[in-house]
Structure 1
Amino acid sequence: MLGNPDRPEFFRPLKKSNSKLRLIYVGRVSPEKNLEKLSFLGKYNDLSLTIVGEGSYLNRIKELLPFAEFKGNLQDEKLSGEYSASDIFIFPSKTDAYANVVSEALSCGLPVVAYKDAGVEDRVDNGLNGFLVSTNEDFELAVNKLKDPELRKKMSHQARLTALKLRWDDAFDQQLNAFPLAIKEYHNRLRRFFPILRKVLYSFNFSHAFLGAVKMAFYVFLANVSAGFIEGISAGMRQSLISFFMVGINTSFFEFLYIRSRRLSIILPSLLTTTVGTSIHILTGTPNIILTASTIFGLALFNFAMLSEIYKRHETISPWVLMKIFLNYLVNSIKQIKLKRTSNV
């Protein structure tokens, strides 16, 4: 994976004079970031925790981590200063695709403690410039290992060396060298698979297509059932086929547009879905065409508006990743309810 280039000339190490070993987390304060797992730090008098960032979970995390110092959102020199004043960067999230904050921390010479498969393996080399762990117990153990000043000094040096490889020039060279390899891999894959099927698989989002087909079919059935049950079923079936292809393709279209304009990523796929769907319904004689078109457009707008909000919050629209985030949030919520009940007894 090729990451985003960092600015090691801006984020850089400075001398520290901390009475306690200073740990820092930078990022959004939300349930999927797993910040409640840092509660173990409260039992160590020789450790301090600084949290930079805000989010929907901030008040709850303040309750769970009363010993932490909260700085809010910081940028540029103030953010760089917080990194440089710290000794260790901790990253308890398990759901990130690529965390730029890890690159910034490495630039400031901070050893990183993070979980495996958290989108940092390309920069954090276990045992060299930080620790990659699998369990909560290993996370705590890694932090305690970094109390050793000699080990911390060695890892800090390696962290900075790693960051120096993340400059724009180096990133450009990596990108340039990656093109021939990507083209070669692409042709190898096309030789192994039927070309048309392969192209469809790359652009088509099956999971969203299926969910969209079921949802659209149901509401179009309701819009036309007044003309007769059979007519309603027939219109619903037609819409399910239309939606399966249109939602699958338009979800990919949405992802392409989102990085350019969030508003366009909602409106254009909705209009395209409505135009194609309504045209087919007119040609096939669907009875309540105005209500059908309005239903399709309303549902499409709602669908892509929801996708936009989800993408904004979680930087993904994959149902499987979102299910993992939701389950993690559900488990945490159940644990918190149990804790409240226990404390009230």
Structure 2
Amino acid sequence: MKETPFCLTVGHLLPYCMSDSNTTDFTNPSTFILLGIPGLERAHVWISIPFCTMYIIAILGNSTILFIVKREPSLHGPMYYFLCMLAVTDLVLTTSILPKSLSIFWFNSREIDFSACLTQMYFIHCFLEMESGILVAMALDRYVAICDPLRHSAILTNPVVAKIGLAVVLRGCVVVLPIPILARQWPYCRTNIIPQPYCAHIAVVNLACADTRISSYYGLFVLFCVMGLDVILIAMSYTQILRAIFSLPTKDARLKTFGTCSSHLFVILAFYIPGLFSSLTYRFSQNVPGHFHVLIANVYHSMPPALNPIIYGVRTKEIWDRLLQLFTHEGA
């Protein structure tokens, strides 16, 4: 039986035609087309509202954290330096994704240059790795502060904090570098249409007409061996922290000490649980609707940058007090 081609015209590009066998004479693209959230195009404007809100909160919240820590000398310590690193990472991560996503939702601006797509892919995964590394560094800070408080200032000096930050940045840059390099080498002879509002690694690689298992395996390596190692290190730190907390003589002392870790714990849960769920469902759950995958992935990338400054602003007394002083002083 003769195959009937299916043609799709996107923007001002030439029609893309796909036969039943999903093969065409399509050659490597100069641009990709981001579809946003396939199946929910009519709701794009409504979907944009929570994501735009999260973006605004992330920008304002993380910028406020950076401003307060810079302005207040009493906050110039390891915990707040790591918090500033987290704020910068969140600002770059959310800015790498949401402006383009919102332009799709609002203006139907779907085209993205091939190199820009790979650059966006690199920045997303690079800063996700950095954020994971910063959470490990913050767990180390809490471990030293609770398990060896008398030596905290001697162990986590400013040079040590700077070296930890540099190591986190270099690890993220180097570990993620093969991801866009591998993606660039594949031939894309099927379509240039990405069913996402941003250039996700697996979504792009799945468009290639070649055996891309090495890209998939390397993505899993980064997920389980790199970020998985971070989770193990954090778990080991908190095992020792909890042992130290439960050895305290009074309930009030235990609650007060645990309170110093609560913000970090909430941030850890907000970062790792949606990320693990998103990655596993995308790779292994074949019966989940495509728009659900896309929504979960977008929430994973957008929610932690918005939640982190709120969690630390509300639950960290020093930051909350400085924030109140800032507004009351300006109000006066």
Q: For this structure pair, what is the TM-score category when the shorter chain's length is used for normalisation?
A: under 0.3
Identify the structure with bigger relative contact order (alpha carbons < 8 Å, sequence gap 6+).
Answer: 2
Q: Which has the larger radius of gyration?
A: 1
TM-score under structure 1 length normalisation: 0.21
